[in-house]
Amino acid sequence: MAEKNYDVTEVFGSDVFNEAVMKAKLPKATFKELMKAINGEAELTLPVAEVVASAMKDWAVEKGATHYTHWFQPMTGITAEKHDSFISPVGDGTVIMEFSGKELIKGEPDASSFPSGGIRATFEARGYTAWDPTSYAFIKDNTLYIPTAFFSYSGEALDKKTPLLRSMDAVSKQALRILRLFGNQTAKKVVATVGAEQEYFLIDKKYYDKRKDLIFTGRTLFGAAPAKGQELEDHYFGAIKQRVSDYMKDLDKRLWALGVPSKTKHNEVAPAQHECAPIFESANLAADHNQLTMEMMKKVALEHGLVCLLHEKPFAGINGSGKHDNWAISTDDGQNLLNPGKSPMENAQFLTFLVAIIKAVDEHADLLRLSVATAGNDHRLGANEAPPAVISIFLGEELTEVIEALVAGTTVESKRTKFDIGISVLPKFTKDTTDRNRTSPFAFTGNKFEFRSLGSSLNISGPNIILNTIVADVLEEFADKLEGAEDFQSALHDLLVQTIKEHKRVIFNGNGYDSSWVKEATEVRGLPELKSSADALPHFCDEKNVKLFTKHKIFSEVEVHSRTEILLDNYNKNINIEALTTAEMAKKEILPAVIAYEKDICEALVAKKNAGLGYSVEQSIADKVDSLASSLSAKIGELENVTVKAHGISDVFEASRCYHDEVFASMQSLRAVADELETIVGAKYWPFPTYEDLLFDI
């Protein structure tokens, strides 16, 4: 039953200092100057910032705020904040509430304890946050949150927002050059837009609290498969359980008040798995909103006695969670440059952008792959639930025919047909010109590309930095060739045909889950396959990639190398934490439980033997458990030894190989024994909740 007197249109953005609020609260002249700054038409001056700060503070205080914080995204992958109150003593034992323009536009959090990849030493503590006026301030927990960029005293970016904004400027600059060639003189900016679908699991907190692996690592390091999993496919889009529905309703309300355009919610494939998805926004705002969404998902879950799991693979044997990144580029007046129109064959502007993207993806598949490389996502990619580690593009039947016809010099007519399944009462509607391919890493879905390889916990800034940059690079190359052409149409035709011929190998419309595709991709087409993070991440600082980033001023060479080190170090530390947790749980929880069970079995065996009764069943169980327990004990020692070895390697590149090849492999070997024991040991002995509890008792 719908809640009475709940008006979404009134609630939406009510805790956001958005354009409508600014227009109402600011003097007209100040509002005009601020909008020029937001649109990149003028620099933000301190006098303007002073007026904005005062109005922002008054608005926030009216809504109950007592503090403000510069909200930023360090390389830890989460958001960071330091809270300061608005109070200012006046000398008579009282205070007034003040907030200056200087405090609005600049903050100085300690930068020494955030990952810097060698950019900053521990004794070099100063860092700066700078207000990003293109992402609206908002109120949460009686605090005014001000989205900011974060950089070092020496000017290097220490966050994810700064390079994202740089990449958005780069793709806008080069896309405008292409638009001018097609006669568009009115567009002032091209905006990369993103809609990030977010998958997640919900489990009961009472079970979460009893699983050290979930608490420390976000995923289950042990767990035998339950009798029922997802094989009946009865959870996907199924009726939402009331407890989960109540959670989703509260989550939507929180997100709407914060201006997050949460649109869709449903059950996902695996039991206890769900999804929420927003309407697309500018890439910068979408990244901020996705970080905020993940935070609110966790917070609201706790209020319902639940825990929201955002790890890419919290449970073995069933689907993990991804985050599909729907990416497009649009002009500031609303023209989607990836909209093929009614006849894509005749839409030369669309084909130019399409072919540029094909080339960009083919040339920089390594960057796209490493942009989604994490310890958690390694469990998903290539499994029958997520795209393979090989990067390819799905175009669909019509667009594939169009580019093939372009090369052949023929034409293709648009195939807009009515969908008719032979039931008179059902409406007949226009059939899409292409099917959807859920196995493709990078799929065209009508007027956007869906980058499907992202893991659920990932900050979407990274992949979108890469997308914006590689597309900007190819658009620049195209513009350089076309701007000086004597015959634009002829030069464009030749450029598109030649580019398609050179890069069509990356187009694949078939089943990405088929093992034969990976073989064809790598052995016949020559596409790279970077199976793990340890394989992919070192390529960040390849010479060609350093040149790409420095050319477009996305990263300096120092920033590229620092990020490579940070990402590898994060990977290593995650595996190290998992290994330590695995060994501890096996040694202190599983092994004692197994020994207790074995003791009782042996006592029963002795009792039966003394009574002259048959005891073959007890003997068989005791022998099996004893053998597995001995194996488990040995494997605990092996894991501890190899973890010490990996932890002692100082070089992050070398360490990552050891963590992947030896430590992770040892964890898997130990787990296999423990999971087999779970299927034998009596339920009352097992020391923590099972998959059956976690996935179905909610």
Check which CATH number belongs to the domain holding 91 and give it: 3.10.20.70
Across all residues in the chain, what is the average pLDDT? Answer: 92
Note whether residue 422 is domain-resident: no
Top-ranked range on mean pLDDT: pick from 1-5, 77-81, 117-121: 77-81
Please return the burial class of 587, using the count of CB atoms within 10 Å of its CB with bins 0-12, 13-18 and 19+. middle
Q: What is the mean pLDDT of residues 510-516?
A: 87
pLDDT bin (cut points 50, 70, 90) of residue 421 is very low
Q: How far apart (Å, rounded) are the C-alpha atoms in residues 91 and 237? A: 62
Same domain membership, residue 440 and residue 353: yes
**Domain co-membership, 636 together with 611:** yes
Are 167 and 190 in contact by the 8 Å Cβ rule? The answer is: no
Residue 564 lies in a domain: no
Higher pLDDT: 673 or 120? It is 673
Distances (CA, A) of 106 to 84, 131, 150: 13, 6, 10
Given pLDDT bands bounded at 50, 70 and 90, which one contains residue 420? low
Could you read off the pLDDT of 538-572 as tens digits, one per residue? 999 999 999 999 999 999 999 999 999 999 999 99
Best CA proximity match to 192, nearest among 92, 308, 337: 337
Do 315 and 344 sit in the same domain of this protein? no
pLDDT confidence band for 609 (50 / 70 / 90): confident
Q: Domains in the chain: how many in total?
A: 4
**Looking at residue 655, which CATH number applies to its domain?**
1.20.120.1560
Q: What are phi and psi of 625, to 5 degrees?
A: -65, -40
Q: Is 596 exposed, middle or buried (0-12, 13-18, 19+ CB in 10 A)?
A: middle
Average pLDDT over residues 575-581: 98
Alpha-carbon distances, residue 159 vs 73, 128, 149, 563, 655 (angstroms)? 5, 11, 7, 10, 24
Whole-number Å distance between alpha carbons of 333 and 188: 9
Q: Which of 487, 522, 553 is the last residue of a domain?
A: 553
Whether residue 433 is predicted with pLDDT greater than 70 in this model: the reply is no
Q: Please, which pLDDT band fits residue 432 given cuts at 50, 70 and 90?
A: low
Is the domain of 391 the same as that of 246?
no
Query: What was the pLDDT predicted at 435?
Result: 59
Whether residues 95 and 23 fall in one domain: yes
With beta carbons less than 8 A apart as the criterion, state whether 219 and 318 touch.
no
Does residue 438 lie within any of the structural domains? yes
- Does 311 have pLDDT greater than 60? yes
What pLDDT is attached to residue 346? 72
Whether residues 356 and 483 share a domain: the answer is yes
171 and 57 assigned to the same domain:
no
Contact 194, 326 (CB under 8 A): yes
One domain for residues 503 and 602: no
Per the domain annotation, does 563 fall within a domain?
no
Given this model, what pLDDT does residue 387 score? Answer: 83
Q: State pTM to two decimals.
A: 0.94
Write out pLDDT tens, residues 316-356: 999 999 999 999 999 998 899 999 887 776 789 999 999 99
Residue that is last in its domain, among 106, 141, 158: 158
Residue 271 lies in a domain: yes
Cβ(153)–Cβ(129) below 8 Å: no
Report the distance separating Cα 331 and Cα 538, nearest Å: 35
Q: For residue 194, list its beta bridge partners.
A: 281, 327
**pLDDT over threshold 50, residue 1:** no
Domain boundaries, position 539: 160-192+333-417+428-553
Q: What is the mean pLDDT of residues 438-451?
A: 91
Same domain, 301 and 282: yes
Buried b (16+ CB within 10 A) or exposed e, 428-440: eeeeebbeebbbb
70-74, 201-205, 351-355, 510-514 — which is least confidently predicted? 510-514
Same domain, 344 and 453: yes
Same domain, 441 and 500: yes
User: 658 in a domain, yes or no?
Assistant: yes
Last residue of a domain, one of 274, 289, 321: 321
Task: Read off the pLDDT of residues 464-479 as tens digits, 9 standing for 90 and up.
Answer: 999 999 999 999 999 9
| Same domain (yes/no): 359, 495 | yes
Of the ranges 246-250, 335-339, 614-618, 681-685, which one carries the lowest mean pLDDT score? 614-618
Model confidence at 2, pLDDT cuts 50, 70, 90, reads: low
Give, in order, the Cα–Cα distances in Å from 395 to each of 114, 182, 351: 41, 24, 12
Asked if residue 226 is part of any domain, the answer here is: no
Does 590 fall in a domain?
yes
The pLDDT of residue 446 is 87
The reported pLDDT for the residue numbered 419 is 46
pLDDT computed for residue 48 by the predictor: 94
